[in-house]
Amino acid sequence: MGRILLILRLTVRDLRRRPAEAVLMLLVIGVATTTLTIGLALYGVTDKPYQQTRAATAGPDVVASLQAGPGQSAAPVGVNALIHASGVTGHSGPYPLASTMIRARGRTAYVMAEGRDLAPAAVDQPKPTRGSWVRDGGVVIERSFADALGVHVGDQVTLGGRSFRVIGMAVTAGLPAYPGGLCSMGCASIPASWLHSSTSPTPGLVWLTKPAARSLATSAGSLSYLLNLKLANPAEAQAFVIAHSSDSPAAPILSPWQRILDVDNLVVENAQDAMQVGGWLFGLLAVAGVAVLVGRRMVEQTRRVGLLKAVGGTPGLVASVLLAEHLVLALAAAAIGLVAGWLAAPPFASTGAGLIGTPGAPSLTVSTVVIIAAVALAVALAATLVPAIRAARTSTVNALADAARPPRRRAWLIAISARLPVPMLLGLRLAARRPRRAVLNALSIAVTVTGIATILANYSYLARHFSSGVDDPRIDRINQMMVMITVMLVVLAAINMISITWATMLDARRSSALARALGATPEQVSAGLSAAQVLPALPGTIVGIPAGIYLCDVLRHGALTIPPLGWLLLVLLGTPLVVAGLTFIPSRLGARRPVAEILQSELV
């Protein structure tokens, strides 16, 4: 009991003594946990809006895509077998589905035009949210597609060369909302040329009267049919699909409603991916940042460790004190991340205009809480364990003499540096004194550059594959998110960089003062401190660029995209420059400290 009290007391004292470091630590872990929380909270946010839309539109349980029979007006193949299958309690259709082009507000896009009855259908009756349902000469546009095109009720649009008036916008649960990809439902009438075109092959959806839709089909191949089925037990939709599917090329392609939901979920899935990858990158940055803070603290605390041990503290107690403090901070950061992530998630969770109803509040499940807490603790442990064990094991005498962490000696580096100009000589030797810190520095830069390179590669991927004139809400959302992640990456990396430089500067106080006593100018010393940060940043940058391109490749499932060379060069050259800039002020301050005072104060 007394022991725990002692550990607590020492922890609280120490936190109070160094509030700035505690805040920095909360910040770096907090950013990582916030991002991860957003990523985790986006699981299944579309479920609820989809269910609401399904209820409001009498959504089908199974949708069948049927090929047109031979001859323009022949009935589609296989309708009877489906509507009389056991378990089917209702149906609507078959409705003709024609593929054509839409021109609206100067933009052109692929579109599937479904021909519907004027009277409401019992199964899958799209619900107008603006305007009215189909009538002669009028077209109703699926809401998220209308948003992407930027059209409003009352506008004129051209379908297959003929003019129509937009009379409504509607939502449906029977087909995926734009840009989910109607083709994932097996729209038989998609012309092969669409799939190989450079524009987005994702067509939008519009509704017309049946005759109008049929007349838009210019060839037999551009017409197919949709049949909506209601089952006695919607939960058995998947089983029904399996039972009634066939490999024959003429057979209908069946999709259960769960598949439509999955496709609609894709809209947030990219967001989810981005936030989770971002979360892990931030987690790595946090490990580097916390490790630097902890490492620097260990240097300051060696004497305290010695005192604790001198008055009888066991190595276990010493390690506990050091660990306790950082674990407490990590848990606090996890709590902050959970709350902040939960508050920040809704904008990322908005499902677009394809569904009605509000997205379910991003869920904060027990497993999310556990994962986030575990990640935060893991970050703190990863960063603290080694120094804590090392501190616990240092000899008491050494710790009391404050010599627990003598700088490392790298003979070959010292020999090489002797050939270099003075700032490089000082910088290389400084970096070599604390190899762990140099590695953390390189890691921090590598992670940041990886993130930036991923984003650049992804950006050029999107630019290459989705360059149609139509807005894609998925891409808007991803771009928005990438800007946010980039900004946070850079901010975190900057915090890390400054704290690393600061730690180096404090650590190198005596040797810098000595170098100046021996005749180095303040400019040389400060350039040396900056060089000590820039040197590890170089390999970090060089590793980070291909790593980012590879990560994008993995995320995009093998669509290797190399960003323009100019961008890569900018990152390659810009990163060391930014590092030099960031380290300028701390190293300047470090080099300005009065030499005599430092050398005197070290006269233990």
Partner 1 sequence: MTDNTSVLRTRGLRKDFGKATGLVHAVDGVDLDVAPGETVAIMGPSGCGKSTLLHLLGGLERPTDGEIRLAGRRVDQMGEKALARLRREAVGFVFQAFHLMDELTAVENVELPALLAGRSRRAARAQATDLLERVGLADRAGFLPSALSGGQRQRVAVARALSNEPLVVLADEPTGNLDSAATLDVLQLFDSLRRAGQTLVIITHDSRIAATADRLISMRDGAFVDETKTMGGTRGNLGAFAQLEG
**Residues lying near partner 1 in the complex (CB under 8 A):** 406-409, 414, 418-419, 422, 425, 429, 432-433, 510-511, 514-524, 594-596, 599-600, 602-604
* Tokens encoding 367: 């497993």
- Nearest residue (CB) to partner 1, 197 versus 601: 601
- Say how many CA atoms lie within 13 Å of 372 toward its Cβ: 32
Strands 88-104 and 138-142 come out as unpaired
**What is the helix, strand, coil percentage profile of the chain, to 5?**
60, 15, 25
Taking the least distance from each CB to partner 1, the nearer of 310 and 517 is: 517
- In this structure, are residues 33 and 341 in contact, taking their beta carbons and an 8 Å threshold? yes
Looking at residue 186, its amino acid is G
**Distance of closest approach, residue 507 Cβ to partner 1, in angstroms:** 12
Place of tokens 């540096």: 417
Per DSSP (E only), the strands in 194-264 are 204-209, 223-231, 253-256
Min dist CB 427 to partner 1, Å, is: 13
Burial of 88 (0-12, 13-18, 19+ CB in 10 A): middle
Task: Give the phi and the psi of residue 130 in degrees, each rounded to 5.
Answer: -140, 150
16 or 419: CB nearest partner 1: 419
Closer Cβ to partner 1, 514 or 570, answer by number:
514
CA dihedral 537, 543, 548, 553 (to 10 degrees): 180
Tell the smallest beta-carbon distance from residue 604 to partner 1 (Å). Answer: 7
Residue number with CB closer to partner 1 (334 or 515): 515
Smallest distance, partner 1 to C-beta of residue 584, A: 17
Give the torsion sign (CA, 421, 422, 427, 432): positive
Q: Which is nearer to partner 1, 244 or 405 (CB)?
A: 405
Q: Which CB sits closer to partner 1, 45 or 520?
A: 520
Distance CA 268, CA 116 (A): 30
Tell me how far, at minimum, the Cβ of 364 lies from partner 1, in Å: 50
Sign of CA pseudo-dihedral 23, 25, 28, 30: negative
CB of 303 to partner 1, least distance (A): 17
Q: In this complex, which beta carbon is closest to partner 1, that of residue 515 or of residue 568?
A: 515
What minimum distance in Å lies between the beta carbon of 518 and partner 1?
5
Closest separation in Å from C-beta 434 to partner 1: 10
Q: Least distance (Å) from partner 1 to the CB of residue 388?
A: 24
Distances (CA, A) of 8 to 5, 23, 302, 503: 5, 19, 19, 26
Q: Strand locations in 491-570, DSSP E?
A: none
Q: Which of 130, 152, 157 is nearest to 216 (CA)?
A: 157
Token pair of 533, please?
A: 């940060």
Q: CA separation (Å) from 366 to 334, 373, 374, 414?
A: 13, 11, 12, 53
Q: With respect to partner 1, which residue has the nearer C-beta, 580 or 599?
A: 599
